[in-house]
Amino acid sequence: MSRLCRDLTVIENVSLPLIQKRGAAFRLWPAMRPDSAIEADAVALLQPLGLAGVATRRVSELAYGEQRLIEIAIAVALSPRVLLLDEPVAGVPESESAAILDVLSRLPEDLPILLIEHDMDLVFRFARRVIVLVSGAILFEGTPAEVAANKAIRDIYFGRDGHGAGDH
């Protein structure tokens, strides 16, 4: 579920963490408008994420995939040491999920991303290292190619007869 301020514009949503990061005093939103420097920083953040074109639109008017991108923009605005994403394309139509993956691939190389994801196609397209957990314990750690080649993982996730574990 999205935690965005749906009645605010995209730029207002992205400005909030920038204001917080700068230590600006909190005031109720109608009385507080981002200054031009914060607004410029917000636009600069939205540009590489492909959101500059919707900066002045209300979040409630946007597709769910675009809203997920705004959530990523807000997280990046706070300059995290690690970006934790829990199923970033969950609930997003397949036609919009490619945009999210494209944005993730364009994030700075020095920003580690910890991705929790069950969609193995997405994992194999995006991840450099994969840790496979079973019942909370590490079963395997390696590259996507090593994970795909591991027989124990195939048996657990796809079943011994090639059908998914949920098909049994």
Phi then psi dihedrals of residue 83, to 5 deg: -100, 115
Q: 10-127: what fold?
A: Rossmann fold (3.40.50)
Banded model confidence at residue 26, pLDDT cuts 50, 70, 90: low
Distances (CA, A) of 83 to 21, 74, 152: 16, 11, 29
Under DSSP, the state recorded for 32 is -
- 130-134 and 137-142: which strand pairing? antiparallel
Per-residue pLDDT reduced to its tens digit, 68-91: 999 999 999 999 999 999 998 888
Contact 116, 133 (CB under 8 A): no
Q: Which of 47-51, 98-102, 143-147 has the lowest mean pLDDT?
A: 98-102
Say what the pTM is: 0.78
More confident: 143 or 21 = 143
Alpha helix (H) residue ranges in 49-150 = 64-77, 94-106, 120-126, 144-149
For residue 36, what is the enclosing H or E element?
A: helix 36-46
Rounded CA separation 100/66 (Å): 8
Q: Is 112 helix (H, G, I), strand (E, B) or coil?
A: coil
The residue extents of the domains of the chain are 10-127
